[in-house]
Amino acid sequence: MLTMGANEVDEAVASAVALLRPAVGRDWVGTNAGGLEWSCRRTAEHIITDLVVYAARLAGRTQSPNTRLNITLAGATGLTPADKEAREEDVNSGILDVIAATGALLTAAIRTAPRDARAFHPAPFRSANREGFAAMGIAEVLLHTHDIAEGLGLPYQPPAHLAEFALTRIFPHVRPGPDHWRTLLWATGRADLPGRARLTEWSWYNNLVLDTERLRLECVTPAAAADLSAGGTGGFDWIGGGPFEGTREAAGMAWKAYEEGVLRPEFGLYILVRREDDRAVGGMGFHGAPDEEGRAKVGYDLAEAARGNGYATEALRALAEWALARDDVQSLFATVEPHNTPSQGVLARAGFVPVNTEPAQPTDPARPTDPARPIDPARPIDPAEVGLQAYELRDRTLN
């Protein structure tokens, strides 16, 4: 069962405080934190800032990028005690107390936020949900504790499932490895991995959400994809009869792409969520990233109880408009059974048109025609598409 991340934030903070508490008597001000230019003291204060900013944004549902949260820790030089004669050891210990307190604030914000709550975060689609803020908080705590530990010469090996939580929520583009913690360090430019070049630039990715009048199209994370493909809900509240088989199959495709390190999450699976009650009604998405010609295949299905309401048409229009506004997408196509008139109607209302194709060559019965394009000897044929009608959309201005 998927978790929202509150317990994992608690555990990450506890692991950081437990590691650093015995080292409060060390010189945190004069020692750099690992490969950072910051001191260990400043890095610890940065953890505090991250935790309280994430908690404030999520709790307040901050949507505007112009809303600034400037956190001042007692003075220009950082967090200082009320007692001017306090020892550095006491200051460092106090910082750990504040890390624990601000971690609790983020945990509370995650636990009390509804499933559909989102707040501003710039990377990369301008918002994050409660799992995204949990994953970012976990990553900040684990990684900067690693930096401090490296500076102070302390061994640090956090629980592997915490690194896995972050990787499967905000690093969907990173191929997983057998060691989740080592993979997270590599993904953030902090370590080497065999067979992979060391990163000098990196970013995390919160999931993309597209809004329509009645729906939200929520791109699934690798964690949600794994849960859906294994028979779970993916963290969504489904109407009766959902998710349908096609959604689970698409989730399995997304998880496989993640395992192979080829997932481009915005070209994966989206769950269609009804805005009025936050109930999931179906799935829609891409069969992969655009090919070298800029063509991307789309597919969709709805739970039976949601059919006949125009949801698929509404969602497909939004997804197509988003995709065709990109420079790397020139056309979209879909295939449908000739007798499936409701699905053909969805495609037609979204602006797709049937594609004229050549019949299969009678002299080569072993190579049936892909209905989306003429026979191309260099292109392998997908037997699953034989006999299906193809539809295509190229216009960038949709009706």
Show the domains of the chain with their CATH numbers.
Answer: 6-187 (1.20.120), 209-393 (3.40.630.30)
The strand pairing partners of 128, in sequence order, are: 119
Say how many Å lie between the first and final Cα of the chain, rounded. 41
Q: What is the pLDDT of residue 241?
A: 85
pTM of the model: 0.89
Q: What is the pLDDT of residue 80?
A: 57
Q: Distance of CA 239 to CAs 23, 129, 130, 272, Å?
A: 52, 21, 22, 11
Q: What is the pLDDT of residue 233?
A: 96
Q: What is the pLDDT of residue 69?
A: 63
Q: What is the pLDDT of residue 240?
A: 92
Backbone phi and psi for residue 317, each to the nearest 5 degrees, phi listed first: -60, -45
Q: What is the pLDDT of residue 1?
A: 74
Q: Which residues contact 368 (CB under 8 A, 6 or more apart)?
A: 360, 381, 383, 386
Q: Which residues contact 313 (CB under 8 A, 6 or more apart)?
A: 345, 346, 349, 350
Identify the segments of the chain with pLDDT beneath 70: 66-86, 356-386, 396-399
